[in-house]
Structure 1
Amino acid sequence: MPASLPPALVAALVLLAAYLLGSLSGSLLLGRLRGVDVRTQGSGNAGGTNAFRTQGARFALGVVAIDLGKGALAAWLALQLAPAWAWWSLLAVMAGHVWPVWHGFRGGKGAAAGVGALLVLWPLAVALLVGLWLLVLIASGYVGLATVLAAASLPLWAWLLDAGAPASGFAVAIALFIAFTHRENLRRLWRGNELRFERARLLHRWRGRA
């Protein structure tokens, strides 16, 4: 990008690029190759969990790879071109994933894109998030609950690890964003009709064998 461009314009272009990258939904792009729209099946969400439930593991793996990759690319571009806005690019790519301009503003819930960006901006946090996510999933079988609690732990990790003001502030923003996009999951949990991923409830199965 030309050095003569004003910094504010560079930042705006970086954030726009992050949003447009986020709008490239893995499940919808791969779904077009298969002739399906996952938003018309299962929970109606364009995320990896619904892709797994409706299209199978291989399809879902491709979805997650695309969604992680676009988040990582958005954060990497921001670090190269407008480092001061790198954390904002994380929110922009998540927003693109949830409200994709290419797909009628009906996308997923932003978690995979956010994790992809964190792999570039704060990789240690990803290891902690994934560890907690797996523990909750194994114990409960609820993917949405595991995602919300993992995101909610980010501010705690930022404080314990003394991650600094930018990371701490955006940790809170990410946690709130994920809670918002998973609000229907939380409502269904409250009502007792949230879908449970039974095969992931390893703790329950181990107890049953004991």
Structure 2
Amino acid sequence: MTAFLWILFGYLCGSIPFSFIIARLKGIDITKVGSGNVGGTNVLRNAGAFYGVLSMILDLLKSFIPTYLALKYSGNIAYFVAFFSVIGHIYPIWLKFKGGKGVASTVGTYFALNPVLALIFYLLWLPLTLTTKYVSLASITTLSVIGLLSFIYSPKLGILNVLLALLSIYKHKSNIERLLNKTERKTDIVEIFKKSFKK
């Protein structure tokens, strides 16, 4: 498979709008509720724990699978496939290029290229989310840390993960404004799970 086809494969996989599809299963148009963002967090808030977690897992897998396959069969092209799978999530062709913010799909590339970084991500992200209740703050902080840590393993991994972090930070620009203005919405994950289990 040529480099172009690998990259196209990564982009098309990343473009599958799982968060949109999963929310639809519950009769919700995720683009019209909450933040309007086509991502797992918005599904979690508006459709419940099961649908939110399922969306996050599928968003993770859609970047993990093409990146892993490219790494296995074509080596370094996997870094480009990883990048474009996240681009696909953020700018999906199926939703007029209006997608999510790339956090779960970025973590999917971590699992494919260096699982240790994926573990570190969750070890940092989860406590930050639980203590601050700001998913956006936890996400952009942890992605930034992972981007810098990646240089310990290799320059190409560091460059990729810094680019992915910057891309997600750019997509979080409205969240950053709200954080600075102290108007950002808090997300109590524990409470969401409690409510979901009571139903």
Q: TM-score if structure 1 supplies the norm length?
A: 0.86
The residue number in structure 1 matching 2:163 is: 173
- Opposite residue 178 of structure 2, the aligned amino acid is R
Is the 2:38–2:99 Cα contact (8 Å) retained in structure 1?
yes
What stretches of structure 1 of length at least 5 have no aligned partner? Answer: 2-9, 202-210
Is the 1:75–1:120 Cα contact (8 Å) retained in structure 2?
yes
The alpha-carbon distance between structure 1 residues 64 and 198, as it changes in their structure 2 partners (threshold 3 A), is: closer
Alignment pair present for 1:190 and 2:195 = no
* Equivalence map 1:126-137=2 (5 Å): 126-137=118-129
The residue number in structure 2 matching 1:69 is: 61
Cα offset, 1:81, TM superposition: 3.6
Alignment partners' CA distance in 2, 1:31 and 1:154 = 30
Is the 2:28–2:47 Cα contact (8 Å) retained in structure 1?
no
* Equivalence map 1:114-133=2 (5 Å): 114-133=106-125
Alignment partners' CA distance in 2, 1:69 and 1:85 = 18
Is the 1:141–1:200 Cα contact (8 Å) retained in structure 2?
no
Is the 1:72–1:120 Cα contact (8 Å) retained in structure 2?
yes
What stretches of structure 2 of length at least 5 have no aligned partner? Answer: 192-199
Alignment pair present for 1:146 and 2:144 = no
Is the 1:31–1:37 Cα contact (8 Å) retained in structure 2?
yes
* Equivalence map 1:26-175=2 (5 Å): 26-159=18-151, 162-175=152-165
Deviations 1:132-167 (A, max 9, x none): 1112112211000000000010233224xx211111
Cα offset, 1:107, TM superposition: 1.1
Where 2:106 maps in the other structure, the secondary structure is: helix
Give identity over the alignment, percent.
32
- Opposite residue 71 of structure 2, the aligned amino acid is L
Alignment partners' CA distance in 1, 2:104 and 2:96 = 20
Deviations 1:55-99 (A, max 9, x none): 011111211121111111110221134322111111101111011
Cα offset, 1:199, TM superposition: 5.0
Cα offset, 1:116, TM superposition: 1.0
- Opposite residue 11 of structure 2, the aligned amino acid is Y
The alpha-carbon distance between structure 1 residues 50 and 77, as it changes in their structure 2 partners (threshold 3 A), is: same
Is the 1:14–1:81 Cα contact (8 Å) retained in structure 2?
no
Alignment partners' CA distance in 2, 1:19 and 1:123 = 21
Alignment partners' CA distance in 2, 1:80 and 1:184 = 38
Alignment partners' CA distance in 2, 1:31 and 1:197 = 18
Large movers: runs of 4+ above 2 Å: 31-36, 198-201
* Greater radius of gyration (CA): 1
Alignment partners' CA distance in 2, 1:99 and 1:171 = 18
Is the 1:137–1:200 Cα contact (8 Å) retained in structure 2?
no
Is the 2:148–2:162 Cα contact (8 Å) retained in structure 1?
no
The alpha-carbon distance between structure 1 residues 40 and 110, as it changes in their structure 2 partners (threshold 3 A), is: same
